[in-house]
Amino acid sequence: MAVYPTIPPKEPPLGERGAIAWVRHNLLSSPYNIAFTILGIGILYLIIPPFVKWAFLNATWTGHSKADCHPGGACWIFIRAKLDMFFFGFYPHDQLWRPKTVIATIVALVAASKFIKGFNKLKIALIVMFPIYAYILLRGGYFGLSPVETSKWGGLLLTLVIASVGIVLSFPIGIVLALGRQSKLPIIKSMSVFYIEFVRGVPLITVLFMASVVLPLFFPEGVNFNKLARALIGITLFEAAYVAENIRSGFQAIPKGQYEAADSLGLSYWQKMGLVILPQAIKVTIPNLVGTFISLFKDTSLVMIIGLFDLLAMVTVTANDRDWLGMDTEGYVFAAFIFWIFTFSMSMYSKRLEKKLDTSKGK
Amino acid sequence: MATQTQTQPERIEKKALGEPIIQLENVNKWYGDFHVLKDINLEVKKGEIVVVLGPSGSGKSTMIRCINRLEEYQEGSIKVNGIEVNNDVKNLRQVRSHVDMVFQHFNLFPHLTILENLTLAPIWVYKRPKKEALETAMYYLEKVNIADQAHKYPNQLSGGQQQRVAIARALCKNPEILLFDEPTSALDPEMIGEVLDVMVKLAEEGKTMITVTHEMGFARKVADRVIFMDAGQIVEENEPEAFFNNPESDRLKLFLQQILHH
Ligand SMILES: Nc1ncnc2c1ncn2[C@@H]1O[C@H](COP(=O)(O)OP(=O)(O)OP(=O)(O)O)[C@@H](O)[C@H]1O
Ligand SMILES: [Mg+2]
């Protein structure tokens, strides 16, 4: 019998490592790839230099009025002048400390949550209390705070209110719908299927119109049912159908053995779903869910059509200001940037969450 | 192989058997038009160890899955500890507190740690205090020699370790009866032994067990009775000695030839 010494690993040849290898494998691996690489570089060349010139090199950052701006460059003074309106809409100027306090609280809570381990009672209490606190502070009418009608809320504040309420409320409703769709009871099942398929077959604009025109018909004359509440109901019910479908796809990824093990241990239906199936289904569906929530976040701008002024609507409003006519481009670029910051953080967060919940590797 | 199986296997010491605890009477089951269980009659006594053999598709899994009602049956009756296994929710809950099953593919809950897998049912279903549930869990983990893995997740364990955890999980609610459905078939050969050792230990302690398995050594060592199923029927049953050495039916003779000389 022969015995051979172990061979220590060697570095791969030069062409197989580092940047050179990456370029070769990803950009130049075939004639098509080479053609697309050249095309891509060409397009970037056409777009990036003019944009950089406009947005940075020729841009004006300081000054007070439109007259201070150089032609041929972005006029960022406009954004600075209208920042409060972009962020808070028509919220009374002397009361702006209120939304600012709410935002500061969010930042503080997010930072603090790093130090509170696990999902304990304190966290649940905070999650339940926060919306009440935020509503009282923003809406006023209590504790000597002057009332601020929700029709005055606007800009990014409104966008965030709609998106977060939509996300938080559509999630449990979506779960219930998804469970309904799985149900063995024919009535519950067909009602869930009908609801989900109906809503998914209708554009959000229609749902918003219906919420703003049809919903008030269900309430007695004189009940003041404000626009924001209608929009929230519309968006929540719309989004719930999509959440339900996401979760259903999560259910399908759970092997039958998980149901059987739960049954065999004696878990009831709700225990089985709540403790075994749902946590796993939600986990596999996080990327899709976050995708859904990102599109919800962007769709909030549709509330414009029922007369609410979210961030995007505020661009239209401010660019119509007589002193700042023609500033649409700056406004839209700014709005795009803000939207991007939020959606990008959401997808980064989902990546982190996925990693954190991944139990297949060592901790 | 053939010479080995001829030698007298070492038998475990066993306590006397008790009253009948599982009773199947004329159980019939269909999947659509397919008659999968045909007039199954089976009585298992407390402390008895039954091994079920048979070719693939003969209905072995289906039969034991009817006992804890993972499957429904259409005719006949099954009783566990005198309780009718039927659609009644209260009965079902009671039956499942007396019986648990160990599966071929372990079916541990991957999002929970080993310890959480073990304490889930005791805490939520059987309302044990958390501390007591944890102590019980650690006791059984030690029993299956895996206490040091308590805080890991199932996917971080080998197949053999996962199956031992699955057995410990089943034991935590202290069921009188354990059903095993090919518990070692999904394991690499070197891990089969560690799982069988645990099962032998349980047998010695007097658990009632029905085991579907192809491990003849296990059957010879611990079984009180071996049952041969074919095409949805119980074709032959006997004590292991006689079952393997003097099979009566041609179907069993053929089956034994096939598995012993493969
Ligand atoms: N859900 C089902 N629907 C229809 N037929 C099924 C279903 N489950 C099992 N069967 C059929 O019933 C028969 C018995 O299946 P069962 O799983 O009990 O066999 P088995 O003896 O355990 O076989 P194996 O050794 O392969 O596990 C098989 O022919 C199988 O195809
Ligand atoms: Mg089987």
> Residue A247 maps to which CATH number?
1.10.3720.10
pLDDT over 70 at B238, yes or no: yes
**Residues comprising chain B, all counted:** 262
Q: Which residue has the tokens 């949805």?
A: B232
Between β-strands B20-31 and B99-102, what pairing exists: parallel, antiparallel or unpaired? Answer: unpaired
Cβ neighbours of A357 (radius 10 Å): 14
pLDDT digits (tens, 9 = 90+) for A147-190: 777 877 888 888 888 998 998 899 999 999 999 998 889 999 99
CB contact under 8 A, A258 and B107: yes
Question: Which residue's alpha carbon is nearest to atom 11 within ligand 1?
Answer: B57
Who contacts B182 (Cβ-Cβ below 8 Å, separation ≥6)?
B61, B104, B212, B213, B214
Report the interhelical angle of A227-252 vs A204-213 (nearest 10°).
140
Least confident of A166-170, A320-324, A352-356, B227-231: A320-324
Pocket test for ligand 1, best of B61, B64, B180, B258 (most atoms within 8 A of CB): B61
Question: Which residue's alpha carbon is nearest to atom 26 within ligand 1?
Answer: B56
Task: Report the percentage of chain A scoring pLDDT > 70.
Answer: 96
B168 → chain A, closest CA residue:
A265
A267 → chain B, closest CA residue:
B125
Note the pLDDT of residue A354.
Answer: 84
Query: Residues A324-336: what's their mean pLDDT?
Result: 83
Please give the ipTM for the structure prediction. 0.92
Which ligand is located closest to the Cα atom of residue B31? 1
CB contact under 8 A, A267 and B124: yes
pLDDT over 50 at B5, yes or no: no
Work out whether the CA dihedral A149, A155, A157, A159 comes out positive or negative. Answer: positive
Q: Which residue has the tokens 């150089």?
A: A70
Which ligand is located closest to the Cα atom of residue B71? 1
Note the pLDDT of residue B2.
Answer: 43
A284 → chain B, closest CA residue:
B111
If DSSP codes are grouped into helix, strand and coil, which group holds residue B12? coil
Which span out of A103-107, A342-346, B63-67 was modeled with the highest average pLDDT? Answer: B63-67
CB contact under 8 A, A360 and B155: yes
Ordered strands of the B83-84 beta sheet: B34-45, B20-31, B75-80, B83-84
Residue A39 resides in a domain: no
Distance to chain B for A223, nearest Cα, Å: 45
Note the pLDDT of residue A118.
Answer: 65
Return the structure tokens found at A148.
Answer: 């601020």
Question: Which residue's alpha carbon is nearest to atom 1 within ligand 1?
Answer: B31
Q: Which phi and psi (to 5°) does residue B53 adopt?
A: -120, 160
Note the pLDDT of residue B7.
Answer: 52
Task: Report the percentage of chain B scoring pLDDT > 70.
Answer: 96
Residue-averaged pLDDT of chain B: 91
Residue A33 resides in a domain: no
Query: Residues A89-116: what's their mean pLDDT?
Result: 83
pLDDT digits (tens, 9 = 90+) for B176-188: 999 999 999 999 9
Note the pLDDT of residue B159.
Answer: 92
A266 vs B97, B105, B153: nearest CB? B97
Query: Residues A66-86: what's their mean pLDDT?
Result: 78
Q: Residue B211 belongs to what H/E stretch?
A: strand B208-212
**Residues B39/B233, Cβ–Cβ less than 8 Å:** yes
Query: Taking an 8 Å Cβ-Cβ cutoff, which residues of chain A contact chain B?
Result: 255, 257-258, 260-268, 271, 275-276, 279-280, 283, 357, 359-362
B167 versus A68: the higher-pLDDT residue is B167
Question: Which residue's alpha carbon is nearest to atom 4 within ligand 1?
Answer: B31
Tell me which residue range forms the domain holding A271.
86-91+148-354
C-alpha A350 to ligand 1 mean position (Å): 41
Q: How many CA atoms lie within 13 A of A61 on its CB side?
A: 4
A283 → chain B, closest CA residue:
B111
CB contact under 8 A, A261 and B93: no
Residue A315 resides in a domain: yes
Residue A69 resides in a domain: no
pLDDT over 80 at A215, yes or no: no
Q: Which residues of A touch B68 (CB under 8 A)?
A: 263-264
pLDDT over 50 at A247, yes or no: yes
A356 → chain B, closest CA residue:
B111
B101 vs A264, A279, A280: nearest CB? A264
Note the pLDDT of residue B126.
Answer: 92
Least confident of A221-225, A319-323, B159-163: A221-225
B153 vs A271, A276, A359: nearest CB? A359
Note the pLDDT of residue A362.
Answer: 47
Environment of ion ligand 2 (residues, CB < 5 A): B 61
Residue A298 resides in a domain: yes
If DSSP codes are grouped into helix, strand and coil, which group holds residue A228? helix
Q: Residue A363 belongs to what H/E stretch?
A: none
Buried-state track B157-192, b at ≥16 Cβ within 10 A, e below 16: bebbbbbbbbbbbbbbbebbbbbbbbbbeebeeebb
Residue A67 resides in a domain: no
Note the pLDDT of residue A94.
Answer: 82
C-alpha B106 to ligand 2 mean position (Å): 14
Note the pLDDT of residue B119.
Answer: 95
Least confident of A66-75, A136-145, A166-175: A66-75
Which ligand is located closest to the Cα atom of residue B56? 1
Q: How confident is the model at residue A59 (pLDDT cuts 50, 70, 90)?
A: confident
A278 → chain B, closest CA residue:
B111
Distance to chain A for B137, nearest Cα, Å: 14
Note the pLDDT of residue B3.
Answer: 43
Q: How many domains does chain A have?
A: 1
Query: Residues A212-236: what's their mean pLDDT?
Result: 79
Residue A250 resides in a domain: yes
Nearest CA-CA partner of B211 in B254, B235, B233, B240: B240
Least confident of A11-20, A188-197, B112-121: A11-20
Point out the ligand 1 atom lying closest to the alpha carbon of residue B182: 27
If DSSP codes are grouped into helix, strand and coil, which group holds residue B69? coil
Residue-averaged pLDDT of chain A: 84
B155 vs A275, A276, A359: nearest CB? A359
A109 versus A188: the higher-pLDDT residue is A188
Note the pLDDT of residue B52.
Answer: 96
pLDDT over 80 at A97, yes or no: yes
Query: Residues B218-238: what's their mean pLDDT?
Result: 93
C-alpha B35 to ligand 1 mean position (Å): 11
Nearest CA-CA partner of B112 in B155, B148, B153, B146: B153
**Residues A200/A245, Cβ–Cβ less than 8 Å:** yes
A103 versus B78: the higher-pLDDT residue is B78
Question: Which residue's alpha carbon is nearest to atom 3 within ligand 1?
Answer: B31
Q: Which phi and psi (to 5°) does residue A224 adopt?
A: -80, 105
pLDDT over 50 at B99, yes or no: yes
Note the pLDDT of residue B254.
Answer: 92
| Partner residues linked to B31 by β-bridges | B34
Residue A331 resides in a domain: yes
Please count the residue pairs, one from chain A and one from chain B, whose beta carbons lie less than 8 angstroms apart: 73
Q: Which residues of A touch B156 (CB under 8 A)?
A: 359-362
Provide the whole-model pTM: 0.84
List ligand 1's pocket residues with C-beta within 6 A: B 31, 34, 36, 54, 56-62
Distance to chain A for B244, nearest Cα, Å: 32
Note the pLDDT of residue A119.
Answer: 64
C-alpha B42 to ligand 1 mean position (Å): 19
Which ligand is located closest to the Cα atom of residue B55? 1
pLDDT over 80 at A65, yes or no: no
pLDDT over 70 at A359, yes or no: yes
